[in-house]
Structure 1
Amino acid sequence: MLRQIHSLPGLIAALLVAVLALTGAILSVQPALEHVAAPSVATDTISVAALAGAAQAQHAEIDKIVKTASGSVLVSYFEGDKAGVDLVDRATGQVIGPHTPSATIRFVTDLHRSLLLGTAGRVAAGLGALAMVILTITGAMMLAARLGGWAALLKPIRGRSRQRWHAQAGRLAMVGLLLTALTGCYLSLTSFELVPDGSTQQSPAASGSGADRAPVGSLAALKAIDLADLRELAFPYAADPTDTYRLTTAAGVTQIDAATGEALSFQPHSAARQIYELIYMLHTGQGLWPLGLLLGLSALAVPVFAVTGAMIWWQRRRFLPRFESNSPASAADTIILVGSEGGSTWGFAKTLHVALTRAGYKAHAASMNALAPSYPKAARMLILTATYGDGTAPANANAFLTRLARHKAKLPVAVLGFGDRCFPKFCRFADDVAAALATKGWPALIETDRIDRQSAQSFALWGEQLGAVLGHKLALAHVAERPRTTALELVKRLDFGSEVQAPTAILTFALPSLPAERTVWRRLFPASLPHFDAGDLVGIVPPGSTVPRYYSLASSSRDGFLEICVRKQPGGLCSGFLNDLPFGGRIDAFIKSNPAFRPNASAAPLILIGAGAGIAPLMGFLRANRPRREAHLYWGGRSPASDFLYRDELASCVADGRLTGLNAVFSRVADGGHVQDRLTDDAQSLSALLRRGAQIMVCGGRDMADGVSLALDAILAQMGLSTAELRASGLYLEDVY
């Protein structure tokens, strides 16, 4: 529900809110400009009487003197039928020059307040402010849920670039936007007199004596008021001898006899007026120009929200597949229920639906929230669900557990979770669903399984297990919609490990060379690699397959080449293709961002742990370690003579300070072992690093990663910590397969 509440007003009001925000950002600069332009004096020691007297000496008929929130003093006057406004010196009352408001600022102000549409525009602007309140509050709640609670709002934000930009802008701007939107709603309500602003407050009726008016500079009531306290001094109407001076200060309004200078009445500002003035100041920054600039910077985040939010919404919509031959729920023998946050899980569900339909099953696919009270002809249920935020349900599955509690049927069921192991509550909602089904007595068709980072290979293996139970071969060759591919050419390769039965290649790719006749074109319009960073993934589809395989990158696009490390797996289609690729051979590749696996921005030490080809992204991080951040590498291979990957480059990193400590361990040498054994041996030094806030990054096979986790848990236990706690704080990251 929260997701729908956040998305709907955002999509409807995106343009309106963006206009209000951009115009507000422009206006937010005005108080600072007025503050800078205002004549500066040490203090306002001149009295209101002296200032008014100096002004009256220059203009025979004055309407009013106004001191703005920025400190500027403006004198409005009449000369015959001509009206004018002068900017005067606060210290002397002498005219500095005519005050001419900017036509541009007037236009932007009208656009901000009413969209240049009068009353209808003011209503729209008020609704836009309300939409911004809803978006800010729901966005903050969703971000807190995603990061693991309100206390985690300062944690690193992971996810796709557009999601990170959306969330990061929200985190930085939420306080300013909420303040601006709430005060904007209030001002809109006061403009339609739905909330009192105190402007209709009436002063007690008072008339002057009617005697000849004394010079304004001689009036005692005005002599007693310093210019610092002035807001406005309205002069009496020349044709009415009983009219009075009307002096407005921060305390209230005083009527002053124009002849005697006696204060005739005083009306303090009402609470409604004081509240209005405070809120007006908070909304505009008038009188608080630093706040105005901060609010303006917050407002600039709104276009970022609008663009990234629309992109996220469109991505979700784009990935929602249309199921052909989707049997009605009442007639289906197989029910597929989907819980999806970003839309990708629906793609896997479609692949499963197609495979089941081809095998002769009548499959019905729907969201988890569409769980029906009964399925008369169903023999099984398959649940594919992602997890949102801190282990909670995706938007289209948040009512599933409640509906399940009232469900009477008990179907054989299989639950498949989708998530990212870098998050501390990996596939937690899928686990919760499986536990609830077991409590209700639903028999498990196969054990609950989990898919890490949309792995097509893992999904295919799950399909084989499901097919074995059903008695039909299910080839779940899932191909997610891929970004545009780039042709790359193999320009360098280093081969290792054949002597220890672990053939591994470091492969370096670059953009293909062009024929000689096209070198001028290349010179004019040079091609460039797609953007990527070390730790991102490259997707490669081998010949004879439609399923991409992903490899961690050991380089960034700034290096000018793309490098991966590939171990040849027995029967591995893609690893075999890549290990046999000759010089000049080409691949079609695309980049899959992996922002969850990055060194943080801290100056604390890095502990890099890997085995075999898992060294690839760790090597990339070391290459980029130009600030010489303290870094310790623990890496495991089989034999230093055969598969010591990156030996020479690692030595160079040690020599120039990018690598502080190299700890290589090999399993097929005398007194050898595995990387987790070396961690145990170095428990004391690792403890010292961890006490300094070190970040741990692990890359390689799942078995190795599990062993590393156990070894580190033993070390951390002595400190009252665990790897689970470090995961939650972003200090323990894994990229495993």
Structure 2
Amino acid sequence: MIRAFHRWPGLIALALVTILSLSGAALSVFPAAERIAAPQAEAGLTVATLADRIQAVHTGVEQIRRSPSGRITAYWFDQGTPGAAVIDPATGEGVASADPNQTLRWLTNLHRSLFLGDGGRIAMAAGALAMLALSLSGAALVARRTGGWRHWFAPLRGPLAGRLHVEIARIAVIGLILSSTTALWMTASTFDLLPDGGAAPAFPVQLSGDTGFAAGQMATLQQTPVAALRELSYPYPGDATDAFTLKTDRGTGYLDQGNGALLAWADLTGWERVSETIYMLHTGQGAATLGLVLGLMALGVPAMGATGVLVWLAGRRGRPRIRGSQPAGRAGTILLVGSEGGSTWSFAATLHAALTEAGQSVHVGPMSGFAPERYAKAERIILLAATYGDGAAPDSAKGFLDRLRALDRAPDIPLAVLGFGDRSFPAYCAFAKAVMAEAQAKGWPVLMPLDTIDRQSPQDFARWGRALGEALGVSLEVSHQPVLPKTETLTLVSRRDYGAEVQAPTAILRFALPRATLWQRLTGEGFARFTAGDLVGILPEGSAVPRLYSLASGRRDGFIEIVVRKLPGGLASSQLTALEPGDTVTAFLRRNPGFRAGRGRAPLILIGAGTGVGPLAGIVRGNAPRRPIHLFFGMRHPDSDFFYGAEIPTWREEGRLARLVTAVSRGARPHYVQDALRGEAAQVAELIRDGARVMVCGGRDMAAGVADALAEILAPTGLTPAVLKAQGRYVEDVY
């Protein structure tokens, strides 16, 4: 049992734990290098003296930081220009650049998240968990092999690979347990799975009202050694309501800028000290020698992985056959799938089962793996192709058309293409149609004409399946039961109604946030984590096809919010707009990674009309870092459908929204959101030149009009919407 528990996590997570360990070993070098390179403060130097020395050189100093390695960094403004440098504490002068080490940043992002954001963090946490499981089970196996814990270093016998595996393990296991345990703690802290435990002092209400007291004269700073300093932040120049903020290894306090008095202080809590100790143990920050030792132990992971694989290969007795899908070279039917969200794969599974029952040998794979040279015994090729966005290839079909176009001639194997889509979209099954057109241009023989499935209709699929059976000369019944993600029940807590005056009844619906289990918080399943712009799937009564709505809230808001307009004959919208507080709906969450505000401080230009403002409002609401956001909002009339009109003034006061530009389409002079963009052409062009990100949400006609307007606005700059899209600075959520 222990051996199996040790073997399978190791084989499954080998690549992940190898990346984790190698990147961790590389990172362990940096704290020691920083400690060696950074000028160290002399013994007995106080923060007051250090502040005097720095201010004598950089009069506009804003902040002084000391890292665990002893490196001191100062930040300042000189005639409106920001500056920063690593400081020699003996002189107060800059001696090195304060810019982040790009290699360190790259390795850190790889080590923490594989450059994949929260999903990558969870993956690396899974790698750390696998490493912990491997370490504990491996330790038990070593003890068993050596005859008990007391004989841990007993001589070994047996094949070289096995002996090397154990020799490395019994040296490195302590470090790996420590590294993996602290990694899991830090991941849990990142995802707010642990209590905060902080006790920052309340900002003082009573201040002297004076300014200009020198930091070097403050008694508290004169009594604080530099060795205890973490950060000293200066008050905003000329603002008598601000104060100095001092952070040390004991706690945090505020100092009056008028007389230097200590206004408030809070010691570090026990929980904070534990967290900081764990951070030190994992990163080596403040304990460089320990970090190097742990890094050396981490280098044992790839060696153990290689020897472990050799041991496994030597001991296995054949590999069990995978039931279901046949190898591509042996199958008579090649079934390839192009899917974005995964639903098309469920149709492929249904078809595979039906064909297999009818006596056919079937290989199932992604369209991206299209390789006709492998299909030695294939008698037919069937493509199930969904469409992404405005006719693009879905995720599992990327590269298919390029491979097809690169062929000298099409395979001499009859082809059938079945498209999946939604007829309400202009680009209905556009990718499937493009595939069929290219196939015909290549002279690919046709098994069946192109057919389509509207809104995942089981009836359409059954009809097509019977036609496929006739083409194959077999009786084929495909009875598909749609497989939906795991759903949850949402309870409506409030609603706000708009649009009756312009015959467009619309409601902002706010649902209570379901309680997430620990497992959901760890894995992100259900509604454990989401941001504005993600999608909520509502399953209306009497239908098996969900309707997707963009979320106007994030998890941190504490509720689930959508903006719904009642459409004539719309099943989902009619049911949703009829809800009253206390009523419930069945729903699931779907990520929308292509519609994200992104990180950084670059400005955002948000453009939306009608209900499309919902996710944009959610982005504004969640703008705690006060990133510059410029919102262009198109509505019919401000008296009828000015959604979030009550909140917008507050968001502006709080700095969450920098600017609002509205366009009213029902009035004496109809004005649309693209007209509003043209009216602000100079500022829009300047913002985009300076790196702004554009996000568009709403109807397709509106989005097309916005793209045309931006093309005109950006023409003098040499930029285009297409270029911005290629750079990841222009994203759309259109319907």
TM-score for the superposition, normalised by structure 1 = 0.49
Q: Which structure's CA Rg is the greater one?
A: 1
Of structures 1 and 2, the one scoring higher in RCO (CA 8 A, sep 6+) is 1
